[in-house]
Amino acid sequence: MTSAMLTSSALYLAQGALVTIGLSLGIIAVATVAGMLLALLRLYGWRPLGLLAAAYGLVARGVPLLVLLIGSYFSLPYLGLDMPLWLVVVLIGGLYFAAYAAEVFRAALAAVPRTQWDAGRALGMRRFQLFTIVILPQARRLSLPPFLNVALVAVKNTSLVSAIGGWELVAAGREIGERTMEILPAYLAVAAFYFVICFSISQIGRHVEKKMRYV
Amino acid sequence: MSDLIPPATPAPLVVIDRVGKSFGPVEVLKEVSLTVAAGDVLSLIGPSGSGKTTLLRCVNYLETYERGLITIAGESVGIEQLPDGRRRRKSDRQIAALRAQVGMVFQHYNLFPHLDVLENLTVAPCRVHGEALGPVRERALALLERVGLADKRHRYPSELSGGQQQRVAIARALTMQPRLLLLDEVTSALDPELVGEVLDVITSLAADGITMMIVTHEMAFAREVSTSVAFMAEGRLIENGTPEAIFEAPHHERLRSFMQRYRAGNRL
């Protein structure tokens, strides 16, 4: 391989990595918002809605993401919802990982001692104020490490997109492998890109966690 | 109290009138009646499980009660007695407004671990009750000075000893400028050598005329600091009176044996 080929291959993989990062950010954003909503419903919501949220969690965590992606990508058009693939991936992936995020948030919220609620109430705080001022900041810190785990799995699972015809890091790697006949190096490079993305997320997480440390 | 005859003494700040409460089939409070005048320090003593803490938590409605009525400065706590005899829970807003006037200090301090000492004091007045930060900060710093912790204002609770945390908790309750302070076994979780510093603070508050209801197992302290003492057992108020009457001339057999056990345990 010439150095020009190496450079262009690396650039091509970098483009794929950008798509992977974009999809990951979208999925994590949706998972965070929806996961928080599910956790709140289960902990504090009207009971039937809480049970519905629990049932959703069981179903989402009991079905492979690949099946959900294939199923929705190929059936949504029949429902008149013609969405680009990236949007399907962000929405379905986000809702799928929301089920995992919900468990993380629920455990963290429940882990804040009941006595903190007592302290807030005794100071005349109402439920919503108490939640946002006292409970949520403490739960945020508790949920960070396990949430990071979910985020890393989400990043790596964006590779499923290449299995339903989308283009991202793995697909880019496969094309380069086929073009250069250097299959192993191509996939090693792909793995390296994934590693760098995930390692960066871990490092950012560790930094944030350290800043939030107060106990 | 009749409207026609002016009372000889000012109306009590806290009136607990035949209050009863059950946890399922277990009656934890039975027809408890007590009054606390402004400036009074009432100590609640009695064996564990006698209902002292539950009664205290009813006074700011951290616990509900099913029978009787508690009023603070004439305003009923937590529930409304309707003319037809039914009871209705007050709105969350009303309950919160009442709690803002009643300070509470807990056995395990319950400081907010994610806020520093000064923020623990200012968060409720500023972010919940809409007071301006400037005056609240000044008030908070003066109170920290008073409990001897002004130099710790930017520390986090986890960096303080138990005694220091409890003094911060007292200052936090006082920053709200409550008309009544509830203290729930505030020295029970402390190492023995840290008890004194917390009791000293409470004694100085009593000297300033701050109205307090204190649940405590520190008998010598209760005797020294209180204007009146109430003894509870099995959810009932057994006897109440001046510290002298309760500690030196207890009438009720239940109270006498309780005192004897304390003396035997060398705690009096």
Structure-token match 């994590």, residue found: A28
Cβ separation of A133 and B176 shorter than 8 Å?
A: no
Q: Is B203 on the interface with A (CB under 8 A)?
A: no
C-alpha–C-alpha distance, residues A201 and A204, integer Å: 5
Q: Is B139 on the interface with A (CB under 8 A)?
A: no
Q: What is the CA radius of gyration of chain B?
A: 19
Is the pLDDT at A3 greater than 80? The verdict is yes
First to last CA, chain A: 54
Query: Exposure pattern of B117-147 as b/e (b: 16+ CB <10 Å)?
Result: bbbbbbbbbbebbebeeeebbebbbebbebb
The chain A residue lying nearest B94, using CA atoms, is A124
Strands in B26-36's sheet, in edge-to-edge order, are: B26-36, B14-23, B67-72, B75-76
Contacts of A121 in chain B (CB under 8 A): 60, 62, 96, 99
Is the pLDDT at B268 greater than 50? The verdict is no
pLDDT at B1 (0 to 100): 46
- Is-contact A160 A69, C-beta < 8 A? yes
The chain A residue lying nearest B100, using CA atoms, is A124
Q: Is B111 on the interface with A (CB under 8 A)?
A: yes
Is the pLDDT at B264 greater than 90? The verdict is no
Is the pLDDT at A46 greater than 90? The verdict is yes
pLDDT digits (tens, 9 = 90+) for B19-31: 999 999 999 999 9
Q: What is the mean pLDDT of chain B?
A: 93
* Of B262 and B59, the one with more pLDDT: B59
Contacts of A120 in chain B (CB under 8 A): 124
Is the pLDDT at A62 greater than 80? The verdict is yes
Across the range A24-47, mean pLDDT stands at 97
pLDDT at B3 (0 to 100): 56
Across the range A94-118, mean pLDDT stands at 97
**Shortest Cα distance, chain A CAs vs residue B156, angstroms:** 7
Is the pLDDT at B7 greater than 60? The verdict is no
Nearest to B114 among A120, A126, A138 (CB): A138
Across the range A33-46, mean pLDDT stands at 96
Q: What is the ipTM of this complex?
A: 0.91
Cβ separation of A122 and B114 shorter than 8 Å?
A: no
pLDDT digits (tens, 9 = 90+) for B78-125: 999 899 989 999 999 999 999 999 999 999 999 999 999 999 999 999
Cβ separation of B112 and A119 shorter than 8 Å?
A: yes
Across the range A132-136, mean pLDDT stands at 97
Is the pLDDT at B38 greater than 70? The verdict is yes
